[in-house]
Every structure is written in C-alpha cells, then in structure tokens.
Amino acid sequence: MSDRRMVSILQKNRGIVWILNFTITILWGYAWVLMKVALEYMGPFTFSTFRFSVGAITLLIVVWILKIGIPPKQYWKHLFIIGMLQTAVVFLLVMFALKFVEAGKSSVLLYSMPMWGSILAAKFLGEKLTARKMTGLIIGMAGLFTILGWDLWIGQNIEIIIGEILIIIAAVSWAISNIYYRLHAQDLPQIQVSAFQMVFGAIGITLATCFMEWGEPVDLNVHSIYYILFTGVLASALCFTVWFMIMSLVDMVTATISTLLVPIFGLLFSSILLDEQLTMSIVIGSVFIIIGIVFVQKRNP
C-alpha cells in the first residue's frame, strides 16, 4: 500500500489517527525502560549501534517500498550533520547517562527539547519570542532547576548530576538538529530525511563504539535481542514512519504537544517496571516542564 493511499485512509478516519498517535507515545515511553534494562547486557554505545543500525535498515526498506528514492547529493552533507546531531550525539549522550540516571527522569529531561528549540528558532529562524513563549520558557526552566537543584541539595551522587547535564545537552543537540533541518533540508520528504540521517547517525555511533567499547562483553540472548528489535524496528523506524504520516494530517503544534505524553509514560513505566521512585522533585519538575512546553508550543488561533 502506498503512503498516499495510507494517508487517504487516515484522512477519512480521524479516530484512527489519534489512536495511532496515542499508541506511538506509549511505545516511545516504554522504550525508555528497555533502553535502561539493555545496559545489563552490553555497553551503552554497543546497544545504540545495534538499535540504530537495525532502525536505519528498516527505514531504508520503508523508503524503498514507498519508492521515495535517494536524496540529491547536495543534501547529503546536511543529512550527515542532522544525523550526527539528532541520532549520534543525542543517543550516545543519553545511553551513557542512563548508566547513572533513572529512565523516567531521563525521558523528562530529554523532552525539554521544545524549549531549547524555541530559543534557537528566535535566534536563527526569526521567530518572535512572545510573552507566552517567554512565560513557558521560564516555567520550563524552573522545572529543570527543580529536578537538578533538588538532586544537588540532597547531595546526589556526582555521576547522576553529570548524567542529567549530559541529557540536557542531548536535548539541546536535538533542538539544534531541528533548526538545521528547517534551514537546509525541509524540502525533502520527512521519511527520507529520517531514514538517511539515521544511516549517517548509525555510522557515527558505530565508530564511537569501536573506539570506546571495542572488546567489551556483549550478551546477545532472547531478552537483549528483543530490546534491540523493539527500540530499533518499532520505536525508531516504524513509529517515525507512522509519525510522519500523522504530521501531514494534524498541525505541528498539536503533534508536538501530544509528544509530552512520552515522558509521562516514561515515568509511569519506569515506576511500575523498574521500581524507580517518583520523588516530589521529579513530579513537580516534570509538571513545570510540561506546562512550559505547552506555553511555548501553543499559538493563537
């Protein structure tokens, strides 16, 4: 079935669109648990290599099925940069930080990305920082400081603090990649961008793995292979394929705000499946971040 045929079906069944949207956010939230548990079987960079290699191959198959083709050569440099920023840097930092930081808290910190994106959009895309956006940024930053500040106040392990900072840096890198995409690759089909940036990102992660974790033990069993396939095929490739179809049917702001369910599910699944404690600082900070992003993303009618 072609992508146009699928989009046509979804246009006639808006209920299916929202069911798919909700399902994607659940899968992305659950993926945080698997990313954390996978570290029991292999190093963080090794897992990322497996995950994004599988994801890239799956997306290339989707591109081939949809007959989208290879992007023009003048875009390869831009897709390489996006791949380094959005896939390699983000997930190398996140997976390393997950060795020390709880999965639920990590998902909240990474999804602070829209706030950083709003600041960068004002600088590089000429988007106006309205009073509403400024309010959202202040509230969101208060949320970040609530989480980090509390950990500093209670004398949290320095490795956890560094891990949290690395995840925030990853969120900034993700935001930069979004701005770069809008400046240099917005004319390409989004599925094509996702597929080929993931190819370049997977190559970057593989090189980092060879340098940082060469010779370290890897336990490939039923559990670890499931984690790789779920995060690579479902969470990384197929979810993004469906996500881009949804993006063509609902406005960007609505779609972005709906992703705020991801850290909520991340916290929920981590609490249930990993017995991670939902401290008051995490709850309050998460609420502030989510409210801040809603303010940042919401536009006037």
Q: Any idea what the Cα angle at residue 84 is, between residues 82 and 90, rounded to 5°?
A: 100
Query: What is the structure's pLDDT at 231?
Result: 96
Query: Following CA atoms 44, 47, 53, 55 in sequence, which dihedral angle do they give, to the nearest 10 degrees?
Result: -100
Distance from C-alpha of 131 to C-alpha of 296, rounded to nearest angstrom: 10
Environment class of residue 257 by beta-carbon count within 10 Å: exposed (0-12), middle (13-18) or buried (19+)?
A: middle
pLDDT value, residue 301: 47
b/e string for 41-52 if b means 16 or more Cβ within 10 A?
bbbbbbbbbbbb
Mean pLDDT by 10 residues, the chain (301 residues): 54 68 88 96 97 96 90 96 96 96 90 84 82 83 79 76 93 92 88 93 97 93 97 89 67 60 87 88 85 71 47
Mean pLDDT (the chain, rounded)? 86
Contact 85, 174 (CB under 8 A): yes
Measured CA to CA in angstroms, residue 132 lies from 115, 176, 293 at distances of: 12, 22, 11
Q: Report the residue count for the chain.
A: 301
pLDDT at 146: 83
pTM for this model (two decimals): 0.87
Phi then psi for residue 266, to 5 deg, are -60, -45
Where exactly are the structural domains of the chain?
Answer: 3-297
pLDDT of amino acid 130: 81
* Other C-beta atoms lying within 10 Å of the C-beta of residue 222: 6
Which amino acid does the sequence have at 66?
L
- Residue 190 has a pLDDT of 82
DSSP letters for 17-61? HHHHHHHHHHHHHHHHHHHHHGGGTS-HHHHHHHHHHHHHHHHHH
Which pLDDT score is estimated for 9?
57
Q: CA 132 to CA 130: how far, in whole Å?
A: 5
